[in-house]
Structure 1
Amino acid sequence: MGMGIEGLLVQIPIEVWDRIVEEEPEWRYMHRFLEKYGFGRFAVLMVAAGLNDFQLKGKAEIAYWPKLRDLLERKEVPASPQEMEDMLKGFYTKERLADLKLKRLNRFLSSELADKLWIAEPKEVVENFIGIWYELAATMRQNRDAKTIAFAMKCLGISLLMTGESNFSFEKIPIPVDYRVKEFTKRLGVSIDDEEVRRFWSQVLEGIRSRVEINMIHLDSLIWQIGVLSKTEIVDYFAKLGLREVGEKIAEVMR
């Protein structure tokens, strides 16, 4: 079945993959702040938001990213990671698991990593992307493969893509295994143990990359967007991208 889905996804051209990433809520609602903040501060903001994107009060694209955008639009650009923490505290106080999220916010924004990223240029982050992943996991005292760590790195990767940088290695960073990714994997007939889900999509990505220069951010964005859609909705989704036939074939291989 792996070959089935891989053979279909390989037909998506790179410019369509890029459009798929631009549809992600973290791109759609946050990209306007890149220019306002400058890259380093924006990267810190995106990682901080990514680390707390779990156990939300609703869908991320409704209950989280747009609300964060609304808050940021009313605030001045923070002058330091500490100021950013003060600015975001009010938001997380009202979130589910508020105490945990405030602790996570503080742990990251008072770290050496946040200080370094604050003044970093995109090229530096590209060159040290895997090193930053290791340091983020150590800072947060989590496993490198933990979903929130992988997702925060995806947010950092999206920040880089917004600046036009795409030559960074995301291959070692696993897909963030959330409900939508699990659900879609299950519908392809693959066991949904987290480890197997990661392994399956890593293999699929490797196959696609032999033909199209994408990384795990592209693949995760697509699966997240179509993960719980019905077969008809999947066909419509691809039709809007000008790839109806790919959508029809994906719907055929699904349970």
Structure 2
Amino acid sequence: MFSFLSKSFIFSILISFMTLFNFAFAASQSASSQIINLANNTSNQSLYVVGVNANIAVWNPILLQLSDYGYLGGWSLKMVAFDNVGTLWSVGFNGDVGKWNGKSWDGQGYMGGWTLKSIAFDKNGTLWGVGAHSNVGKWNGKSWDDQGYMGGAFINMIAFDQNGTPWCVGVNGNIGKWNGTSWDDQGHMGGWYVKMIAFDNAGSLWTVGVGSNVGKWNGRSWDDQGFIGTWHLNWITWAN
């Protein structure tokens, strides 16, 4: 009996080792194809993050860790966003715009002559931008229709909830919700000063705090998710 158990135990260890080896080998071999197909990884659980070092990663809900894609396409990034058809866009560290083609960024340059802080897509697929001077633009296909300082506010970014309502983060880390003519100031929700906000596919509100940690709004306060994958973050977004 002892001999049989020993052999079974040893055999199970060998199988486990071979499985882990094959998994690691497959992961290393598929790394380049994963990066090429980055924008096609549109599971509802696909969370994309930009770290404080301007690199990008994708949360793996199976392994419960971030897959680091480094400086994707050789770009240092401020932020990323998905359009309504699932294509990944970015604002580079210099304020120019890129559109991911599956292998590299198709540089859109300084669209409309604007240096940007961030971009966002509304529910109709229209592109919006926040300029370096905190003014807001709506892309008409050729240039920005300048909305000026919407509601008289100086903002860093804009996001759209599931109803299509714009929200923003002000330069002081506070949050605003558009009422049709001005921003209803939500203040520093939950006592947090924030870098940005995002809505997931279920409509839940998330944020990255100025401490680079992540929070999920529970209706009254932020459920602190800490440093996702131990990363200090500047931006989060979900694939459509």
TM-score (norm 1): 0.28
Task: Kindly indicate whether structure 1 or structure 2 has the higher relative contact order, using CA contacts under 8 Å at least 6 residues apart.
Answer: 1
Which structure would you say has the larger Rg? Answer: 2
The structure in which a higher percent of residues are helix is 1
TM-score (norm 2): 0.29
